[in-house]
Chains A and B, each alone.
Chain A
Amino acid sequence: MSREMMDRASQALQNRAEKLGIEIGLDRLESQQPQCGFGELGTCCRICYMGPCRIDPFATDGSSRGVCGATADVIVTRNLLREATGGTASHIGHARHVALTLREAIRGNAPYGIVDRGKLIAVAGGLGIATDGKSDTEIAEEVVAKALEDFARQDGEPGNWLKLHTPHKEFEMWRDLGLVVSNVHNEIEEAMHRTSGGNDADAVNLLLGTLRMGIADGVGLAMATDLQDIMFGTPQVCAVEANVGVLEAGRVNLAMHGHNPVLSEKILEWSAKLDGEARAAGADGINVVGVCCTGNELTMRHGVPMAGHNLQSELLIVTGAVDALVVDVQCIWPGDVKVAECFDTKVITTEANVKITGAMHVPFEAEHADEAAEKIVRVAIKAFVARKGKEVEIPQQKASALAGFSVEAILGVLSKIDPENPLKPVIDNIVAGNIYGAVGFAGCPNPKIRSSAMTETMAKELLANNVLVVATGCTAHILAQAGMMSPDATEQYCGEGLKAVLTALGGAAGLDGPLPPVWHMGSCVDNSRIVTLLAALADTLDVKISQLPVAGSAPELVAEKAISIGAWFLALGMTVHIAPAPHILGSPVATKVLTEDLEGITGGRAYVEYDPAKAAAGLVAHIAAKRAALGI
Chain B
Amino acid sequence: MKELFVDIQRCAACKACEIACAVEHSTSKELFGAVSERPAPQKRVHVESARAYAYPVCCLHCGDAPCIATCPNGAMSRDADSGAVVVNEGRCLGCLMCAMVCPFGAISAHPAKRVAVKCDRCPDREKRGQQPACVDACPTHALQFGDEEDLMKEKRLSTAARVAQAVSGAAVVQQPGSTPLDTLRSLRGC
Contacts and interface: CB of A to CB of B under 8 A. Distances in A.
A, B from the same assembly: yes
Interface of A: 33-41, 43, 54, 56-58, 60, 580-581, 585-586, 608-611
Interface in B91-107: none
B13 A37 contact: yes
Contact of A57 (B48, B49, B140, B189): B140
B15 to A, nearest CB: 7
B47 interface: yes
A60 B177 CA distance: 12
B106 to A, nearest CB: 17
Interface in B18-50: 47-49
Contacts of B47: 34
Contacts of B181: 37, 41, 57-58
Nearest to A448: B188
B49 A60 contact: no
A38 B14 contact: yes
A198 to B, nearest CB: 23
Interface in B106-140: 139-140
Nearest to B183: A585
Contact of A54 (B14, B48, B183): B14
Contacts of A34: 13, 47-49, 53-54
Contacts, number: 63
A40 B49 CA distance: 15
B58 to A, nearest CB: 15
Nearest to A586: B180
Interface string B39-82: 00000000111000110000000000000000000000000000
Contacts of B162: none
A611 B189 contact: yes
A36 B19 CA distance: 13
A34 B46 CA distance: 10
Nearest to A579: B187
B178 interface: yes
B48 A37 contact: no
B179 interface: yes
B184 interface: yes
A558 to B, nearest CB: 16
A60 to B, nearest CB: 6
Contacts of A60: 174, 178-180
B2 interface: no
B10 A610 contact: no
A36 B13 contact: yes
A249 B61 CA distance: 58
A516 B30 CA distance: 61
Contact of A58 (B14, B140, B184, B187): B140
B151 interface: no
Contacts of A36: 12-15
B180 A585 contact: yes
A57 B180 contact: yes
Nearest to A30: B49
Given A60-B179, A581-B187, A35 B174 contact: no
B29 to A, nearest CB: 20
Given A33-B48, A34-B53, A37-B12, 4 more contacts: A36-B14, A37-B11, A43-B180, A58-B141
A57 B14 contact: no
29 contacts: A33-B49, A34-B48, A34-B49, A34-B54, A35-B13, A36-B12, A36-B13, A36-B15, A37-B11, A37-B181, A38-B12, A38-B14, A40-B184, A41-B181, A41-B184, A54-B14, A56-B140, A57-B12, A57-B140, A58-B10, A58-B140, A60-B179, A580-B187, A581-B184, A585-B183, A608-B187, A609-B187, A610-B187, A610-B189
A585 B141 CA distance: 20
Chain B CB count within 10 A is highest, among A38, A57, A586, A611, for A57
Interface string B159-190: 00000000000000010001111011001110
A585 B49 contact: no
B14 A37 contact: yes
Contacts of B11: 37
B184 A610 contact: no
B2 to A, nearest CB: 23
A56 B139 contact: yes
A503 B54 CA distance: 51
Contacts of B12: 36-38, 41, 57
Contacts of A39: 14
A54 B139 contact: yes
Contacts of A37: 11-14, 54, 181, 184
B65 to A, nearest CB: 28
Contact of B188 (A38, A54, A610): A610
B181 to A, nearest CB: 5
A111 to B, nearest CB: 49
A486 to B, nearest CB: 31
B21 to A, nearest CB: 16
A40 to B, nearest CB: 6
A449 to B, nearest CB: 9
B182 to A, nearest CB: 9
A609 B188 CA distance: 8
Contacts of B179: 57-58, 60
B180 to A, nearest CB: 5
A56 to B, nearest CB: 6
B93 to A, nearest CB: 29
Nearest to A452: B189
Contacts of A57: 12, 140, 179-181
Contacts of A585: 180, 183-184
Nearest to B55: A34
Nearest to B174: A60
A35 B11 CA distance: 11
Contacts of B10: 58
A586 B13 CA distance: 15
Contacts of A610: 187-189
Shortest Cβ-Cβ A-B pairs, 10 listed:
A37-B12, A34-B49, A34-B13, A34-B54, A36-B14, A33-B49, A57-B180, A585-B180, A57-B181, A586-B180
